[in-house]
Amino acid sequence: MPLKIMKLAISGSTTVDTNPAVERFFYEVAGTVVGEGTITISVADFWDDTGAAATALPVLTTDNSYFTVYINGVLQMQSLLSYTPGGTGTGQLVITVPAGSTVTADSPVVLVVTNYAPDASTDIVT
């Protein structure tokens, strides 16, 4: 009889649900900012998706979250942004406006925070 590789008669499948929680915050720039400059937006200056004043900026879940910022509908570079989450009445977004750039008054700023709560289940059949 020839040699043969022996293996287990097992099969398995894994299901992963990402469960994203997306929160959006809105702001209109009060006055024109010509770079080099900064725009500092505290939580109290943002509105949420319902139009109500925001009260807290969500904490970013370690290794399962990210935030993006759009100014006038254009996605901004991460290195220009500083996000500080916080509970009631705390937290802010700081946008660095580099030299040669301008953000005009009334430009909309949209902050999108996405946190994931992944869940996985594995079924093994023998």
User: Is the residue at 62 inside a domain?
Assistant: yes
**pLDDT beneath 70, residues of the chain:** none
Domain count, the chain: 1
Range of the domain at 66: 19-118
- CATH number for the domain harbouring residue 112: 2.40.30
User: Is the residue at 124 inside a domain?
Assistant: no
pLDDT at 9: 85
At 44, give phi and psi (nearest 5°).
-65, -20
User: Is the residue at 11 inside a domain?
Assistant: no
pLDDT at 97: 97
User: Is the residue at 3 inside a domain?
Assistant: no
User: Is the residue at 2 inside a domain?
Assistant: no
pLDDT at 87: 76
pLDDT at 86: 85
Ramachandran category for residue 55: left, alpha or beta (phi over 0 → left; psi -120 to 50 → alpha): alpha
- State the pTM of this model: 0.84
